[in-house]
Structure 1
Amino acid sequence: MAQTPTSLQLKDAGNTLYLKKDYIGAYAKYTEAIVVDGDNAVLYANRSACCLAIEKYLDAAEDAQKATSLNPYYPKAWARFASAQAALLRYQGSVISWERALDALPRQHLSAAELKQKHEFEEGLRSAKLCLAIVNERGAPEGSIKIHKPDQEKLPWRIAQRILPRMRRRNQEEASKSSAWVIAMAWEEFGEGVKLMRQLKTTPREGQQFLSEGTSGVLPLLTNGILRDRRVFHISGARWFDDYNKQLDFEVKVTKAWPTLSPQQVLYQAKRGLRQKGWDEVRPAISTTIRAWVMLGLLDSLVGRAHHVALEHFRKVIEVLELGRVYWKTVPKEQRGSIFDDAFIRGIHAYSKDPGLNSKFQLALLFQEADDLIKETRADHYLPEMPYDPGFLSSFYIYPIGAGLAAKGFYHAQMAEYVTTREEILDHSHKAAQFYLESANTYPQDDENHAWYLRCAVEYMWKCGTELRVTLVVLKRMREAIPKMKEIWGFVETGKMEELQMFVDAEEMLLKEVDRGKVTLGDLAAPVWAIDKKDIDILHPAYMIMSGTEKRTQKEKVFTPYASGSNWDSEGFLEGQF
């Protein structure tokens, strides 16, 4: 009979794999060792190192924190905790952990290895302090959050609420062609959630105990509102995060949820709970757990701008929901809860198609997931007899397709930067324009995404070579959409509005050049700022310099046609594509 390996043997095997950079294999060995010896700080610290190597920062932080609790005087554990916190943009905690790592080293007579550690820890501490100073200066969440208080009546959801009566007087098909439904219905849920969240009261009792009185079900309102349209999220007061954390603690206690557990542990607890108590007990617990993770992801993405961390939370959500749908596929929807519905899962998938990825492997994964999202959404036909509002249909059946198409456009736009041959650059630019244009056509004309993705489409039409007769049509559509967009989205980011205005100015300049006879509608023309010099040399070796407009001091370049221009029709659509 084979002898069971000891924790030391498993640790040594993990060390060997780690040195070979087989981090997944090493992680597995350290996990086996932890099963044998769960109170060994070294094992948790080593597994944390594996998580750092494979960029699983939440898991790295959890393991490192466990190691510091088992041995508060273990320098490497504090250092790995500090590294994980920095990766999660938690710089204040990272500074404290680096200081604890230095304090855990001997005061004198340090060995060569300890001197090296001291230098590394000091460098880590300096870096964390610098990052903390930067985010404090910018008003990021780690420092003082800047609360903007614009005119409430000019907020998009307020404007949308005033527009809705006019929309309702139209037939449903026409009414649904406005983003007013999307943002107004998103605010209806999110705003109600914030109102109820603020009504939570906590009363101190004897000792360290507090009595909380409030309304459960706030998390569903907040998450549903943001998943309908993330643009509804805003921080409306300095106590927002404090109120939210109290509400979260309240709902976790009321529903007996498990937000601190891993996906596998959550599924285990859910199965055990079903055997003992049934769905009435498990449904609220698993819903609160999932929605707490969703909120973590949303806050990391929207407030902390830590998109890589947000994706970790969303992957945990998707893992539980996808496996749960397999385990409980025969359970009626009303018993297992709305979090297992197609629309909810699609909302998570659509949100997680964040284009903040920059490696070829990640881009390929993004493209495949975006393609899957589009196919699944188109295959899932909603039932007309269901009492869906037009905003729901847009949020979960139309906008996810637009998001998926934009992600595919982003993929090809990034790949155009990676490849080197003329044919590859043209091909990826051509496809980027195609997907951005199709994405723009998915959104209502008064949604900011409509005008923005038309702008993106024109950018890559210029890069792949497109006749003026086509680019001018798309530029006109963008220009005509901007006033409709501004009616609701007057608070579009200043940077975006400046970008859109540049393209409006470009249309005006190009039309003037056509009137002057300098170019024809059959020429490939673009402003000088639209094409990089390297792209000119590779893609458009023949071009001429033309005089600038009154608004610009620099000259504009207009390119002459070349043999392999893109095949678009006169309405700005790729022939045979739309």
Structure 2
Amino acid sequence: AETLKAEGNVLFGQKQYKDAALKYSVAIELSPENAVLWSNRAACNLNLKKYSDAATDASQATELDPSFARAWARLATAEQHLGSWTQAINAWDKALSALPTEGRSAAEEKQMKEYAEMLSNAQRALEATQENINDLAENNTINNFGSGKMPWERAEKMRTELVARGQEGMFSSAWLILGAYEAWSEGVGIMNELKKEDRNGQVAMTGRVGAIQQLSNAIIRDKRVFHIDDPEFLSKYNDQMRYEAFGRQAWQQGSADLILREAKERLAKSDWNAVRPALSVTVRGYIIRAFLTGGLMEDEAAAVTFYDDAVGILDGGRQLWADVPDDIRGVIFTKTFIRGVKALRLESYMTVRNRNRARFTLTKLKELADDLERDVREDPLDPEQPMGPGFTLAFYNGPLAQALAMQALYERELAEQGQTPSEQLPHLARAGELYAEAASHLPPDDEVHAWFLNSALGVFWQGGAPLKTTLPLMEMVKSSVPQMMRIWEHSQLALGGRDKVLQKTLWFEEDVQKALREGKVKMDDPV
């Protein structure tokens, strides 16, 4: 083991982190109680940006040797990259406590200063997260919540009307947000029932399970349902997650490969009645953690990591247990559930790519979009198994529209890279077609329908498309806006300036119609 460690150290010094990790892995098999080996492999995984694996390895190192300061520091670093600021703060505290209180060497003094600075940074990040929660709670409560402005409140008022319209009324985003809100309300209700009490110096929790399932279902159906009216939301959620994870024996950290391997080992000793709920809480916890990390903590890179782990468990599980029916292995392994998670990951990837294009590439974005589109098209709705309108929009129309819009973004960025009109125009035309198709899969009363139409117009105008191409799209925006305002007037997209953008298109449409009537332009003219 010592020889392998030495070889790994040489490779690490040469920045050959993957090969070094392999050396440490073999050494760990020979000497699993050696904390240094686990810590060294954690360092490799940090450099490989495999933060879930790094956290698992560093955690094992600290269990084997609680006085190992560098292992605590590596655990803290991994947790920070995962957006887990509370855990990072605890680990930095432990790293500082593990250093000598006096007689420190120059290297230890340097460690002390570095760890103290990182602890301070983590504390500020956690404070900023809580400020975001407080702002959300205040804004929702004072400005919107309970005032009839929330999309689900408006959708509920339309329910009778939509039903009366028959099949036409089923194609409405009202059903999408209503389904998401029902799940969200149920989840929050269960979460609020959880009680904590001190029993002989130990914290005991009593409550119900199911909150994690409902909250994750809500986010997957329509993430716009997310809202906070309680400043203690994050604290309550963390308590609920711990409660359900303990009761279901779920994993709270670890890569997809690790979890699948251990799940397989558990199945060999028990059965699906034990493993199914453990995997469900694990995957759903990763999904919620990804969503909260990207939103409340504004760390989309960490969010993508959690989504990747969730999808890795789901795709890997479908392959590993391909002969096990969905009703045995669980809902999380159904195609529609996985599709919903992939759609969330795709949007998260797009968001973080705007901030870090070196690590999050356009090519990868296109791959994720193509995979999602293929998934929907190869699994069409079965007319023999009718599904509710909200389910269809959430797991078929919505993901397909999302995939097409990301493909459009890909084409638009290729156009921006072009140097000549001949290099740019084909990509702009294709981007416009994709945005328009994406919009066609969404109900006209969904704000994203109008937004994708407007995006199509933007690239068509940039490419000099004629009025016969752009005017029908402008007219569709004009028709969509009053419909979407009935539900989405006070959405987050609206707060971000949606209406000003769309209003410019409406005014331009009026000018174009007037110019056509006066004979100043023709339908073949680019305007």
TM-score range, shorter chain: 0.7 to 0.9
1:274-285 aligned within 5 A: 274-285=267-278
- Quick check: 1:179–1:447 contact (8 Å CA) kept in 2? yes
More helix by share: 2
Figure out how many residues of one structure are paired with residues of the other and give that number: 513
Deviations 1:341-364 (A, max 9, x none): 111111111111121223487321
Deviation at 1:30, TM superposition (A): 2.4
2:225 maps to amino acid: V
The alignment status of 1:140 with 2:132, answered yes or no, reads yes
* Alpha-carbon distance change, 439 to 71 in structure 1, aligned in 2, over 3 angstroms: same
1 CA distance for matches of 2:325 and 2:115? Answer: 54
**Equivalent residue for 2:153?**
158
Aligned equivalent of 1:50, options 44, 52, 56: 44
* Aligned counterparts of 1:107 and 1:510: Cα–Cα separation in 2: 78
For the residues of structure 1 that align with 2:198 and 2:117, how far apart are their CA atoms? 43
Secondary structure of the residue aligned to 1:491 is coil
Residue number in structure 2 paired with 1:350: 343
Matches within 5 A, 1:361-372: 362-372=361-371
2:202 is paired with a residue of what secondary structure? coil
Q: Map of 1:497-536 to 2, 5 A cutoff?
A: 497-508=499-510, 521-525=523-527
1:271 is aligned to 264
User: In structure 2, do the counterparts of structure 1 residues 81 and 338 end up closer, same or farther at CA, with 3 Å as the change threshold?
Assistant: closer
Q: SS of 1:154's equivalent?
A: coil
Q: Corresponding residue for 2:488?
A: 489
Cα distance in 1, alignment partners of residues 182 and 435 from structure 2: 30
Q: CA deviation at 1:155?
A: 0.9
Where do 1:10-409 residues align within 5 Å? Answer: 10-68=4-62, 70-71=64-65, 74=68, 76-90=70-84, 104=99, 111=106, 135=128, 139-140=131-132, 146-147=137-138, 148-149=140-141, 150-152=144-146, 153-172=148-167, 174-212=168-206, 214-354=207-347, 355-356=350-351, 357=353, 358-359=357-358, 362-386=361-385, 388-409=387-408
Partner SS, residue 353 of structure 1 = helix
* Structure number with larger C-alpha Rg: 1
- Flag structure 2 segments of 5+ consecutive residues without an equivalent: none
Deviation at 1:448, TM superposition (A): 0.9
In 1: Cα distance, 2:119 partner to 2:269 partner: 49
One-letter amino acid of the structure 2 residue matched with residue 140 of structure 1: N
Moved more, 260-269 or 277-286: 260-269
Q: Which has the higher contact order (CA 8 A, sep 6+)?
A: 2
User: Match of 1:524, SS?
Assistant: coil
CA distance in 2, matches of 1:99, 1:261: 22
1:291 is displaced (CA, Å) by: 1.6
3-state SS in 2 of match to 1:245: helix
Mark the CA change 1:360 to 1:416 in structure 2 (over 3 Å): closer, same or farther: farther
Instruction: Tell whether the 8 Å contact from 1:176 to 1:394 is kept in structure 2 after alignment.
Output: no
Q: Distance in 2 between matches of 1:279 and 1:204?
A: 34
- Please tell me the residue identity of whatever aligns with 1:162: K
Deviation at 1:77, TM superposition (A): 3.8
Residue 285 of structure 1 aligns with an amino acid whose one-letter code is A
Cα distance in structure 1, aligned partners of 2:414 and 2:358? 10
> Percent identity among equivalent residues?
35
Give the 3 Å change call, closer, same or farther, for CA 209–121 of structure 1 in structure 2. Answer: closer
CA distance, structure 1, for counterparts of residue 77 and residue 269 of structure 2: 41
TM-score computed with the length of structure 1 as normaliser:
0.79
Deviations 1:2-34 (CA, angstroms, capped at 9, x unpaired): xxxx2x322333233334433222222222233
- Offset at 1:488? 0.4
CA distance in 2, matches of 1:51, 1:70: 19
Aligned 1:468-487 pairs, distance under 5 A: 468-487=467-486
CA RMSD of aligned residues (A): 3.2
Q: Secondary structure at the match of 2:273?
A: helix
| Residue 450 of structure 1, CA deviation | 0.4
Amino acid at match of 2:159: L
Secondary structure, aligned partner of 2:324: coil
Whole-angstrom distance in 1 between the partners of 2:88 and 2:408: 37
Please state how far the C-alpha of 1:458 moved relative to its aligned partner.
1.4
- Deviation of 1:35 after TM superposition, in Å, equals 2.7
Question: Deviation of residue 56 (structure 1)?
Answer: 2.5
d(CA) in 2 for partners of 1:301, 1:266: 23
- Report how far residue 68 of structure 1 moved: 4.7
**For residues 122 and 250 of structure 1, what CA distance do their matches in structure 2 show?**
32
Output the CA distance in 1 between the equivalents of 2:149 and 2:188.
Answer: 19
Amino acid at match of 2:238: N
Cα deviation for residue 515 of structure 1 reads 6.9
Question: Secondary structure at 2:251's aligned position in 1?
Answer: coil
- Residue 190 of structure 2 contacts residue 210 of structure 2 at CA under 8 Å; is this kept in 1? no
Residue range with higher mean Cα deviation, 117-126 or 29-38:
117-126
Q: Which amino acid aligns with 1:424?
A: E
Seen in structure 2, the aligned counterparts of structure 1 residues 109 and 304 have a Cα distance that, compared at 3 Å, is closer
1:415-430 alignment, distance < 5 Å: 415-430=414-429
SS of the residue 1:204 aligns to: strand
Match of 1:538 in 2: none
Change (3 A) 1:408 1:194: same
| 1:352 alignment partner, SS class | helix
| Paired AA for residue 451 in structure 2 | W
Comparing 61-70 and 161-170, the one that deviates more: 61-70
State how far apart, in whole Å, the 2-side matches of 1:130 and 1:200 are.
29
Structure 1 partner of 2:451: 452
- Shift of the 362–381 alpha-carbon distance from structure 1 to 2, 3 Å rule, reads same
Deviations 1:200-235 (A, max 9, x none): 3334333314151x3222222221122111111112
SS at match of 1:140: helix
